[in-house]
A and B are shown apart, each in its own frame.
Chain A
């Protein structure tokens, strides 16, 4: 069941809210918990009943292990727990990939039936690994079984994040106010949900018609033009952001209807001025988890090694920065999917971070040199480099195959010649000769028709959306007065005009209805969230 389906919005959600309200009237908290857990499991099973057992099994084993580890702190138990979880995800998500590669390397013919990826396995597995590690560290507090179940299965965050942390969710279940359905929470939650739904259905699905045909064409080796490849990629950059951040907004809005707060997952990532900041703003709940449980231990130990052997500047940099960065981003790539394109996506971002580090070191050693004096120009350059690097990374993320990605990138970097409108031919004077000598041709900018009949609509839309990403406040800022989130990024205090900030007024009620109706009217087909496949 998808959030953007009639059945979810008009049946499931109202019924769950109604049931929750009845439980509240009966004043029996366990009933409310049971109701939410069973609704969440029903929500999960709607997709595939076969894997319902898998998630229940995973929750039971992990809770039992965690409680045991909490009591008798044995490392062997923790290791067993890690093997159990990584084994599950390894089989269900990576087995096919592994066997395929093994067959290629060994030229063997091992056959493995196609394993269907269970929905949400990447999300619930890692939430539970963190729980086990923290139990071993003595940072869990004898959670109640039902609280633990709800922490893992709570339907707003179950299938595509935010990846919640037990320390931030379970204490909320102990608060009395969670069990009370309140009008204020409903109003805030519904408004955030409406914005998320609008972002997903109207914007992300709307712009996808300019991204998908280009990537499809790349797979069948169509000679894309320079401009088609760029605008298709930029359109996809917008689609992915609005899709995933819209989903996160919906999750946060839904949770708030039940009086719960989820962590912020996006903080205007396309406003980032360097790549490190981008990763602090994009899919925050994933990057903070990777930072805390993978990057920190690896980088701490390698840095200690570097100090111990008193390495020179370059070898120290390789050991303490390059290796842990590439290692971490390799796993970020692989987390997103079992495929070489995802691994390349990860390693590419790892290299960006390394380059950013080298650049910071250069600036640190030559503080007197100001490369560009004008602050507006230097900010624009920093933004462009960051945004375009990210967009190039998305090509690997989106393309179905390495070959498809290669085709898109070669067009983007001018290997297919840069084609200009034929109308310009004969109107450029002596400049024309220079262009032709440099490999430009005049066969039209959009000759393959992958951007629709009127590509200029696509171009305008792409620029409009990039502009809105840069100018508009994010949901956390719009709803700042009501703090509907757990903060995960240092809040940027920009004084937005008052009319942009949400209040429980008629105007905002009307706006929410408009967002909601536009979105509902655009549900024509159930398009899946991009992040469901992870």
Chain B
């Protein structure tokens, strides 16, 4: 699980161009300045591309924080 956050951390840093970003399960869009509806899909597709998975739009829209994102990724990878 810790691993997953680190992987995501790397993707987030790359998308937002911020090497100092430190994610935890509670991190949400309101904690990261650049994480808004304009950059959200870029981030999501970067994650899809990394894990070779595909999210449903409704799931993306209901995401509340990084913890839920981790759980989604885990569930997709388990399937």
Using CB atoms and an 8 Å cutoff, list the residues of chain A in contact with chain B.
Answer: 137, 139, 276, 291-292, 295-297, 299-300, 303-304, 306-307, 320-321, 325, 353, 357, 360, 364-365, 367, 490
Contact among B37, B41, B49, B60 with A320 in the assembled complex (CB-CB below 8 Å): B41
Q: What is the CA–CA distance of A325 and B36 in the complex, to the nearest angstrom?
A: 14
List of B residues within 8 angstroms of A367 by Cβ: 17-18
**B42→A320 contact, CB < 8 A:** yes
**Chain B residues touching A, majority SS:** helix
**A300→B58 contact, CB < 8 A:** no
**B16→A307 contact, CB < 8 A:** no
List of B residues within 8 angstroms of A297 by Cβ: 57
List of B residues within 8 angstroms of A306 by Cβ: 45
- Given known contacts A300-B57, A307-B49, A490-B30, is B16 in contact with A364 (CB within 8 Å)? yes
Q: Can you list 23 A-B pairs with a CB-CB distance of less than 8 A?
A: A137-B58, A139-B58, A276-B38, A292-B61, A295-B37, A296-B60, A297-B57, A299-B41, A300-B41, A300-B44, A300-B57, A303-B42, A304-B45, A304-B48, A306-B45, A307-B45, A307-B48, A320-B41, A325-B38, A360-B34, A364-B16, A367-B17, A490-B30
B30: min CB distance to chain A, Å: 6
Residue of A nearest to B54 (CB): A304
Contact among B34, B45, B46 with A300 in the assembled complex (CB-CB below 8 Å): B45
Closest 6 pairs between A and B when the two form their complex, measured CB to CB: A364-B17, A303-B45, A299-B41, A303-B41, A300-B41, A307-B49
Q: What is the CA–CA distance of A304 and B30 in the complex, to the nearest angstrom?
A: 24
B11: min CB distance to chain A, Å: 12
Q: What is the CA–CA distance of A50 and B44 in the complex, to the nearest angstrom?
A: 48
Q: What is the CA–CA distance of A297 and B48 in the complex, to the nearest angstrom?
A: 15
List of B residues within 8 angstroms of A303 by Cβ: 41-42, 44-45
**B17→A291 contact, CB < 8 A:** no
Q: What is the CA–CA distance of A321 and B34 in the complex, to the nearest angstrom?
A: 14
List of A residues within 8 angstroms of B46 by Cβ: 307
Instruction: Known pairs A307-B49, A320-B42; list 13 more (Cβ under 8 Å).
Output: A276-B36, A291-B37, A296-B37, A296-B41, A297-B57, A300-B57, A303-B42, A320-B41, A321-B38, A353-B38, A364-B16, A364-B17, A367-B18
Q: What is the CA–CA distance of A439 and B38 in the complex, to the nearest angstrom?
A: 42
Using C-beta atoms within 8 Å of the partner chain, give the interface range for chain B. 20 to 34
Residue of B nearest to A288 (CB): B37
Residue of A nearest to B20 (CB): A367
Residue of B nearest to A287 (CB): B37
A362: min CB distance to chain B, Å: 11
Q: What is the CA–CA distance of A307 and B45 in the complex, to the nearest angstrom?
A: 8
Q: What is the CA–CA distance of A307 and B14 in the complex, to the nearest angstrom?
A: 15
Residue of A nearest to B62 (CB): A139
A133: min CB distance to chain B, Å: 10
A282: min CB distance to chain B, Å: 15
Q: What is the CA–CA distance of A321 and B42 in the complex, to the nearest angstrom?
A: 9
List of A residues within 8 angstroms of B49 by Cβ: 307
List of A residues within 8 angstroms of B40 by Cβ: 296
Q: What is the CA–CA distance of A139 and B59 in the complex, to the nearest angstrom?
A: 12
**A357→B41 contact, CB < 8 A:** no
Residue of B nearest to A356 (CB): B38
- Given known contacts A296-B60, A300-B45, A303-B41, is B30 in contact with A365 (CB within 8 Å)? no
Q: What is the CA–CA distance of A365 and B57 in the complex, to the nearest angstrom?
A: 30
A45: min CB distance to chain B, Å: 37
Q: What is the CA–CA distance of A159 and B71 in the complex, to the nearest angstrom?
A: 42
**B17→A365 contact, CB < 8 A:** yes
Residue of B nearest to A304 (CB): B45
List of A residues within 8 angstroms of B57 by Cβ: 296-297, 300
B13: min CB distance to chain A, Å: 11
Residue of A nearest to B36 (CB): A276
Q: What is the CA–CA distance of A296 and B41 in the complex, to the nearest angstrom?
A: 7
A488: min CB distance to chain B, Å: 13
List of B residues within 8 angstroms of A299 by Cβ: 41
**B48→A357 contact, CB < 8 A:** no
List of B residues within 8 angstroms of A307 by Cβ: 45-46, 48-49
A531: min CB distance to chain B, Å: 24
Residue of B nearest to A295 (CB): B37
A396: min CB distance to chain B, Å: 23
